[in-house]
């Protein structure tokens, strides 16, 4: 029709074709993009940590020559952390109640000459208050504090007595708080410090049979965030939070069931969990990159913090549907 211009009339197609790359280049580039997207998708599906942590790699020089104080060093994640840190040249302060066990672990480290033992019972508030002074006597400073020690729980809220409640809050929250308050002055004076609190996915979402455990881990998470904001102008004072999911440790056996008693057995799915070594390796990646908060777990537990943040109603629905079976697996009955 007269007066109507088509796109073909307005655009010089030959000129466009002249600057377009050859078709094989476009095909190759397209294939590369598709391959990359498939690779990233597979990584995401197979990953055992959050996406930010997944994108980082270990910076071992961050630990070389630095004094790292690890609590709960006699087993589980704490022991694995000490083994990994020793490989990277850290000067270790190993703390736990069992100094004999720690001595055995120390002698098997990559560099036992760079490790010192500080026996510490975190259930005793008075001992915790004087622990920092003793730690400073070993190397003269503390550069990185990893509050790893903790105890878990396997009982109904209505069966949790006040003594159990107090004991768990002391170890899981009050002791890390006390140690952190003790090391910060020295960190400020030396213009460097990093406090790492090992919380839990139970510190992001509630979970049946772990009322006090969840409360203590929520408290530790809140403390970490608060300290980060209060010391916002201290660029060389860092606070990191690590939230592991189920890990192969003795935590099940040592879980409180009320009345001063311990669970005394491992959960049936313990061997399907993340290993303590893998958890320690990911934790060190997070620390060396000064990440603020990371989630570390195999699936499906890794989905829990994502749902808690982005779809809390969905998580609530799933927990309500699953709680009966979950409780029955541990307690032998489906409800209180």
Q: Catalytic residues, which ones?
A: 213
Among 66, 86, 83, CA closest to 74: 83
What is the SS3 string spanning 128-149?
Answer: HHHHHHHHHHHHCCCCEEEECC
Angle at Cα 100 formed by Cα 99 and Cα 106, nearest 5°? 80
Is the Cβ–Cβ distance between 240 and 292 less than 8 Å? yes
Residue 119: C-alpha distances to residues 69, 87, 125, 131, 181 (Å): 12, 22, 14, 9, 19
Quote the CA–CA distance of 160 and 327 in Å, as a whole number. Answer: 15
Quote the CA–CA distance of 202 and 168 in Å, as a whole number. Answer: 14
Residue 20: C-alpha distances to residues 26, 27, 30, 216 (Å): 9, 12, 14, 61
Is the Cβ–Cβ distance between 123 and 111 less than 8 Å? no
Is the Cβ–Cβ distance between 53 and 297 less than 8 Å? no
Angle at Cα 102 formed by Cα 79 and Cα 142, nearest 5°? 75
Strand partners, 244: 296
- Provide the b/e sequence for 55-84 (b: ≥16 CB within 10 Å): eeebeeebbeebbbbbbbbbbbbbbbbbbb
Q: Look at the block and give the residue holding tokens 């530790």.
A: 220
């Amino acid at each position: 029709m007269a007066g109507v211009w088509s796109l073909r009339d307005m655009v010089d197609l030959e000129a466009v074709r002249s600057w377009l790359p050859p078709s094989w280049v476009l095909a190759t580039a397209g294939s590369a993009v598709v391959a990359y997207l498939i690779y990233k998708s597979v990584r995401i599906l197979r990953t055992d940590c959050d996406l930010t942590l997944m994108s980082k790699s270990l910076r071992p020089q961050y630990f070389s020559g630095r004094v790292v104080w690890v609590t709960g060093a006699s087993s589980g994640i704490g022991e694995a952390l000490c083994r990994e840190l020793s490989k990277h040249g850290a000067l270790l302060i190993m703390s736990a109640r069992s100094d004999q066990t720690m001595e055995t672990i120390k002698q098997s480290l990559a560099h036992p000459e760079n490790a010192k033992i500080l026996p510490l019972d975190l259930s005793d508030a008075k001992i915790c208050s004087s622990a920092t002074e003793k730690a400073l006597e070993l190397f003269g400073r503390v550069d990185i504090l990893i509050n790893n020690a903790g105890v878990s729980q396997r009982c109904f809220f209505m069966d949790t007595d006040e003594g159990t409640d107090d004991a768990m809050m002391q170890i899981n929250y009050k002791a890390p708080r006390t140690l952190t308050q003790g090391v910060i002055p020295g960190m400020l004076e030396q213009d460097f410090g990093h406090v790492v609190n090992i919380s839990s996915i139970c510190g992001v979402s509630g979970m049946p049979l772990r009322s006090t455990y969840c409360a203590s881990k929520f408290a530790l998470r809140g403390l970490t965030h608060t300290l980060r904001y209060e010391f916002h102008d201290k660029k060389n004072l860092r606070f990191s939070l690590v939230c592991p999911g189920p890990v192969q440790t003795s935590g099940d056996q040592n879980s409180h069931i009320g009345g001063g008693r311990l669970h005394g057995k491992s959960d049936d799915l313990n061997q399907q969990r993340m290993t303590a070594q893998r958890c320690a390796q990911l934790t060190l990646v997070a620390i060396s990159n000064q990440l603020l908060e990371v989630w570390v777990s195999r699936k499906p537990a890794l989905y829990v913090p994502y749902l808690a943040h982005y779809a809390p109603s969905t998580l609530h629905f799933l927990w309500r549907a699953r709680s009966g079976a979950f409780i029955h697996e541990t307690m032998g009955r489906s409800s209180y």
